[in-house]
Amino acid sequence: MKHGKYRFIAGFLVLPLAIYAIFVISPFVQAIYYSLTDWTGLSPDMKMVGFDNYARLFQDEVFWSAVGNSVTLLLLLPVVTLSLGLFFAFMLNVGGRRRKKAVIGGVRGSGAYKILYFFPQVLSVPIVALLFQFAYNPESGALNAFFDAIGLDGVQPDWLGDPQIALWCVMAAMVWANVGFYVVLFSAGMSSIPKDFYEAALLDGANRFNTFFRITLPLLWDTVQTGWIYMGILALDVSAFAFVQIMSVGPGGPDYSTEVLPLYVYQKTFRDGQAGYATAIGVSLLIVTLVFSAVVMRLGRRERLEF
């Protein structure tokens, strides 16, 4: 009977595993192979160059600029986005207090606020990037016009043209575009936490700060950890590429101040015709992503709380 059961299970797994191997594992293997060649991406002709592409990475200053910018996004974007998402979700669900003493509820108009926060999710990434690009325009943008309106006409930064602040401007757009999703996600998690927990804590004299760190955050930890990994991958992947490609000067500038790894892969492949070298950069990006995910899973490991 056991052998028959195993054959029955294996019969159902063969097709899904075959599809997974063809469409997921196979591209990774091909990418590693191409990274060891001098393939231009425009011709089927190529020859093996071994680890020359990887050795070249250590001498490539633009690559290291892209690594630094990507790591900056990787470290800060999840922190800022998830922190704002948790704060807004907490205020919308348990940050207010109703008329009856010690009864927990969200702030007034929380339903409307959720719609307002989620609105950027309705817009596509190119639309959000273009909106912020217009706002950052040094001559006709909304930000400099606001400074001029309040009498700070001497403060007219070239937001996307200044190497010192260009990356932060792009990051601000990415935060605005993503924080609404986490407000809704964390709100859904908080709504499942029994209100009795909060009421008991308030009766014992706990304030909002204590209830957040003693009740809300521990019970939402699995959701926060998943969101952290997702935001980290987003900071290293397509979203960072799209925002930098559309918003930055160059793109990737000025002076490579907004260059990120996905954009550098694109430039080396389609602009410079160095697909083999670009694939080596992509493999490096894969390694950074895997290391980040492993570190977050390791540091965030804790005993699961149930209620």
Spans of all domains in the chain: 60-299
pLDDT at 102: 45
Other CB atoms within a 10 A radius of the CB of residue 275 amount to 23
Pick the CATH number of 60-299 from 1.10.3720.10, 1.10.3860.10, 1.10.630.10, 3.40.50.2020: 1.10.3720.10
Other CB atoms within a 10 A radius of the CB of residue 52 amount to 14
CA dihedral (139, 143, 149, 155) in degrees, to 10, reads -70
Strand partners, 104: 97
Which tokens hold the place of 182? 């986490």
pLDDT at 97: 57
Residue that has been written with the tokens 């010690």 in this structure: 102
In whole angstroms, what is the distance from residue 226 CA to residue 282 CA? 23
Q: Is the dihedral of CA 283, 79, 188, 239 positive or negative?
A: negative
pLDDT in tens, the chain (307 residues): 455 667 777 777 888 888 988 988 898 899 899 999 999 888 888 899 989 999 999 999 999 999 999 999 998 999 999 999 999 988 888 766 554 554 666 777 777 887 888 888 888 899 999 999 999 998 888 888 888 888 877 778 899 999 999 999 999 999 999 999 999 889 888 888 887 887 787 777 777 788 888 888 888 888 888 888 888 888 888 788 999 999 998 888 898 999 999 999 999 999 898 999 999 999 988 888 888 888 877 876 665 555 5
Q: Do 170 and 244 meet the contact criterion of CB atoms below 8 Å apart?
A: yes
Which tokens hold the place of 128? 């959000």
Q: Supply the Cα-derived Rg of the chain in whole angstroms.
A: 24
Residue that has been written with the tokens 């407000």 in this structure: 183
pLDDT at 60: 93
In whole angstroms, what is the distance from residue 84 CA to residue 101 CA? 28
Give the Cα-Cα-Cα angle 109, 110, 115 (nearest 5 degrees). Answer: 100
Give the predicted TM-score (pTM) of the model. Answer: 0.85
**DSSP collapsed to 3 states, the chain:** CHHHHHHHHHHHHHHHHHHHHHHHHHHHHHHHHHCCECCCCCCCCCCECCCHHHHHHCCCHHHHHHHHHHHHHHHHHHHHHHHHHHHHHHHHHCCEECCCCCCEECCCCHHHHHHHHHHHHHCCHHHHHHHHHHHHCCCCCHHHHHHHHCCCCCCCCCCCCCCCCHHHHHHHHHHHHHHHHHHHHHHHHHHCCCHHHHHHHHHCCCCHHHHHHHHHHHHCHHHHHHHHHHHHHHHHCHHHHHHHHHHCECCCECCCCCCCHHHHHHHHHHHCCCHHHHHHHHHHHHHHHHHHHHHHHHHCCCCCCCC
